[in-house]
Amino acid sequence: MSDKQVVTRIAPSPTGFMHIGTARTALFNWLFARRHGGQFLLRIEDTDRARSTDEATEAIYRGLTWLGLDWDGDTFSQFARADRHAEVAHQMLADGAAYKCFSTQEEIQAFREQARAEGKSTLFRSPWRDAIPSTHPDAPFAIRVKAPQSGDTVIHDQVQGDVTIRNDQLDDMICLRSDGTPTYMLAVVVDDHDMGVTHVIRGDDHLNNAARQMLVYLSMGWKVPVWAHVPLIHGPDGKKLSKRHGATGVEEYQAMGIPAVAMRNYLTRLGWSHGDDEFFTDAQAKEWFDLKGIGKSPARLDMKKLENLSAQHIARIDDASLVAQISAYLDAAGKPALTDRQITGLTEAMYCLKDRARSFPDLLEKGHFILTKRPIERDEKSDKVLDAVSKSILNELTPQLQNASWTREALEEVANAVAAANDVKFGKLASPLRAALAGRSVTPSIFDMMLVLGREETVLRLQEATRD
Ligand code: GLU
């Protein structure tokens, strides 16, 4: 197969939010398609009408868009294709690959109860499987696949290896319900076939479905796609990820101020590996991503690792893009937008903020000195630091700063000289300076702050701090 023919897809059911497992599946499919110059498609599995609200579908678009996973062409709606699904069910019926089942819900229920009571398999065996049409009643019927009852079905899975399912474990699944609506198991196969999907990469919670879906491919004489069933994400304790482990929705990570590029890196690495590489760029991921690198055992969510990658990416994003992403983050978080003055200040200060910032709010906290205005509001700790002794030292420093040349070396020299004259180490001066310039104790270096603020603003802030 030439690379050009690769077609992957993400097929989320609208649930109201985008789970990071879905995001990771989307990412894997996107990377695989991009790596092979193929197509990455989006299909909304909106057959559950109650859950498939516009809002729930919007959450999927928002998640994919924030993550930067662009899909090719128009979005497919599974629900809109119901007629086509029914057409295939009837085709299978005409071909003898499926049959009409007239069993009612009550009969099926009774069958199960009896089987349970007798300790037999509760897999429903329809009495209509081999019935001749002349015995058919004039009543509603479901269309069931005629599954083989002996032998094995083998899924050649790119992650799990060959998975063999005994055919006597498979029931004659329903393709079309008696009310004429298609089942998910049929729809997914028809859609994947019609969309030309070549590779189905999805969570391994769908592995059992694959054996049953395979029957539809085989009955219709369609080419079975390459399967890759990826183990689900687990929490740090090794149990299936749930709310109690922390954030499970993509939007929660966006709200934490993790840049999308870091989230892509982290999610790609979560369950896939390329040697020992932890940090990588999008370009590298697109070049490296393959199905062989997907691990067989579930990956565990690790916030420390995510923060670490986030810091590494923030340090590498160019300043203008960083400011734009921070603005988008504030907007999404419903926080006040940056003013022009703040954008200019932040851009100038970026060189001393972006190193070791684990997230956008972390960076903004470090950048507080440039975002804030006089009068500088000091937090409690900073207030305490500005005692009478410190103030008097700052009072000595201020006039010297008025005459110093505004370079890092000159500022360091002046500050060290004032510290020495007062018989204190420069460290003793650092805290009151932080308090005066930023009102906080966690800031960039004193000299970076002075350089960014400029002489006039620095002096005014020192005067203000020593005045009261
Ligand atoms: N709609 C399914 C889900 O959200 C995915 C089906 C598939 O990938 O085949 O889990």
Please return the burial class of 100, using the count of CB atoms within 10 Å of its CB with bins 0-12, 13-18 and 19+: buried
Upper half-sphere CA count for residue 222 (Cβ side, 13 Å) = 22
Both 323 and 289 in one domain: the answer is no
To test the pocket of ligand 1, the residue of 52, 201, 206 to mutate (highest count of ligand atoms within 8 Å of its CB) is: 206
Instruction: Report DSSP letters for 101-148, one per residue.
Output: E---HHHHHHHHHHHHHTT-------TTTT--GGG--SS--EEEE---
Q: Give residue 258's Cα distance to chain centre.
A: 11
Asked whether the predicted pLDDT for residue 428 surpasses 90, the reply is no
- Identify which of 443, 450, 436 has the alpha carbon closest to the alpha carbon of residue 375: 436
DSSP label of 154:
E
Asked whether the predicted pLDDT for residue 296 surpasses 50, the reply is yes
- The pLDDT assigned to 4 comes to 57
Both 325 and 294 in one domain: the answer is no
Both 224 and 245 in one domain: the answer is no
Decide which of 214, 230, 246 is a domain's last residue.
230
What pLDDT digit, counting tens, does each position of 110-157 carry? 999 999 999 999 999 999 999 999 999 999 999 999 999 999 999 999
45 lines ligand 1 (CB under 6 A): yes
- The pLDDT assigned to 468 comes to 66
Both 89 and 204 in one domain: the answer is yes
CATH of the domain at 447: 1.10.10.350
Report the SS3 class of residue 377: coil
Q: How do the residues of the chain divide into helix, strand and coil, expressed in percent and rounded to 5? A: 55, 10, 35
Annotated catalytic residue: which of 243, 304, 354, 373? 243
CATH of the domain at 25: 3.40.50.620
Percent of the chain at pLDDT > 70 equals: 99
Task: Tell whether 371 is covered by a domain.
Answer: no
Task: Tell whether 216 is covered by a domain.
Answer: yes
Both 32 and 106 in one domain: the answer is no
Both 130 and 201 in one domain: the answer is yes
Which residues lie below 8 Å from residue 49, measured CB to CB, with a gap of 6+?
79
Task: Tell whether 84 is covered by a domain.
Answer: yes
Both 191 and 239 in one domain: the answer is no
Q: Give residue 97's Cα distance to chain centre.
A: 40
Both 292 and 354 in one domain: the answer is no
Task: Tell whether 299 is covered by a domain.
Answer: yes
Both 131 and 256 in one domain: the answer is no
Decide which of 180, 215, 230 is a domain's last residue.
230
Asked whether the predicted pLDDT for residue 3 surpasses 60, the reply is no
- The pLDDT assigned to 358 comes to 97
**Catalytic residue flag (residue 243):** yes
Residue with CA closest to ligand 1 atom 2: 12
pTM greater than the 0.85 cutoff: yes
Residue with CA closest to ligand 1 atom 6: 11
Q: Could you list the beta-strand ranges (E) of 131-223.
A: 142-145, 152-157, 161-166, 174-176, 199-203
Task: Tell whether 18 is covered by a domain.
Answer: yes
Task: Tell whether 372 is covered by a domain.
Answer: no
Distance from the alpha carbon of residue 13 to the mean position of ligand 1, in angstroms: 6
Distance from the alpha carbon of residue 104 to the mean position of ligand 1, in angstroms: 28
Atom number, ligand 1, closest to the C-alpha of residue 192: 9
Percent of the chain at pLDDT > 90 equals: 94
Both 88 and 225 in one domain: the answer is yes
Domain that holds residue 446: 380-467
Task: Tell whether 123 is covered by a domain.
Answer: yes
Domain tally for the chain?
Answer: 4
Atom number, ligand 1, closest to the C-alpha of residue 202: 8
13 lines ligand 1 (CB under 6 A): yes
Q: Which pLDDT band holds residue 1 (cuts at 50, 70, 90)?
A: very low
Task: Tell whether 260 is covered by a domain.
Answer: yes
What pLDDT digit, counting tens, does each position of 367-423 carry? 999 999 999 999 999 999 999 999 999 999 999 999 999 999 999 999 999 999 999
Both 254 and 329 in one domain: the answer is no
Residue with CA closest to ligand 1 atom 3: 12
Atom number, ligand 1, closest to the C-alpha of residue 15: 4
For residues 52 and 44, the answer to whether their CB atoms sit within 8 Å is: yes
Both 109 and 221 in one domain: the answer is yes
